[in-house]
Amino acid sequence: MLSEVSYKTPYDIPDLLKQIASNGDNLQEGGEEARQACLTAARNLQFALEKPTESILRTRVAEPAHHAALQVAIDLNVFQKMAERGETVTSATDLAASTDVDVVLVARLMKHLASMGTLYEEETPGTYSLTPYSRALSQHKKFQEAIPLSFNVIGPSFAKLPDYLKTTSYKNPHEDLSKIRYSKDHNEYSGPFQFAHNTPKDFWEWIACQPERVCPFNNQMNDRVTGLSSWDDTQLRPLEEKLGKEAGDEQVKLLIVDVGGGKGRDLKAFHKKFPTLSGQLVLQDRPSVLDDEEVKGLDKKIQVMKHDFFTPQPIESKGARAYYLHSVLHDWSDEKCAVILANLKPAMTKGYSKLLITEHVIPDHRANWISTTFDMIMMCCFASGERTRMDWEKLLGDAGFKITSIQGGAEPGTESLIEAELF
């Protein structure tokens, strides 16, 4: 064990305790603002109270071990079996019998899952109950799919990032770097993802060759179960005015073209909230996404159009009231984004068409951990990143667009709605 060194904490512990206590009443009433305040204070309180050795053990050992235990539990359907029993409490012995797995192994896994907050350990030794997190994992397939996708796809990229950065003399991963092939063991790697997975393919090419991962990945992108937002109400109300009433008395023929829109989640949500707005909704994405059975059941208001956003917009999608990009541009470097935006411009009508972008806008000060986590994912998997307001202004400005508004989501760490139009 490392010897402890006394450090002065930058956190005001008494103040953090007061913040948690003062928000307690509102928290019981279900106030979201109070929940966020308590959560932020609680996280900072943990950082303030942990000894350095505890922080090291948590981040370098306990959390990776937690990820591994989660993956095994998903493989064994542990959380589903606990929920199916219809009982509040389940013992490790019963779970071992129902999964046909060594009881000692199950007991060890359950203990660590409980110590990390995924399960709740009851007063009776060896008995556990579901927490909100593990109950969600027991009930929703797409929550279950998030664990192996993160563990097997994103996790290796994080693990190998330090070694990759050594090969680049610690240059920020970006498009210019990816044009240079870094050699190791007679193989060439263009980015952290390629380095980690020992492949010359980019993320999209690689995942397309992994049939067992394609469906879970598309499901994750469609349902956004990892903290992403969709048409936040605080963003939607002014958007209804801009897309509908501001268009004048004329009937809008083409309302929104959702570029790279997955299985239509956003358009379904928009149509549900604003069923009376006139104009066709168009869903665009790759054939591999749009051929899914879920897409075939979309409302007739939503037209499905196979399209690659690295090519010009089809003639039938020109002149729309809005072109929408949700979590598209953060996957690509500025150079690639310039191509995507250049393909949109000829389809837009100046003074009429709007460009709508839902993505993270990283603040210059005290960014939320959710936003910075997504930035690290983008770095490792795509050699790209989330952008600050200044980054967005430069990217869109260079492409011939001016930002007219940026509306943040209702919760910290969620995406913003960026509205832009042609110069």
Active site residues: 330, 359, 386
Q: What 3-state class would DSSP assign to 422? A: strand
Q: What 3-state class would DSSP assign to 417? A: strand
Q: What 3-state class would DSSP assign to 233? A: helix
Give me the DSSP letters along 22-45. Answer: HTHHHHHTT-HHHHHHHHHHHHHH
Q: How many helices (H) and strands (E) does the chain have?
A: 22, 14
CA atoms within 13 A on the CB side of 259: 27
**What residue has token string 């990390």?**
116
As a whole number of angstroms, the distance between CA 275 and CA 240 comes to: 11
Give me the DSSP letters along 163-185. Answer: HHHHHTTSPPP-HHHHTSPEEET
**In contact, 214 and 263? CB cutoff 8 Å:** no
As a whole number of angstroms, the distance between CA 107 and CA 99 comes to: 12
φ, ψ at 285 (rounded to 5°): -170, -175
**What residue has token string 């210059």?**
364
Radius of gyration over every alpha carbon of the chain, rounded to an integer in angstroms: 24
As a whole number of angstroms, the distance between CA 311 and CA 304 comes to: 17
As a whole number of angstroms, the distance between CA 393 and CA 344 comes to: 17
Q: What 3-state class would DSSP assign to 366? A: coil
Cβ neighbour number for residue 423 with a 10 Å cutoff? 10
Who contacts 135 (Cβ-Cβ below 8 Å, separation ≥6)? 79, 83
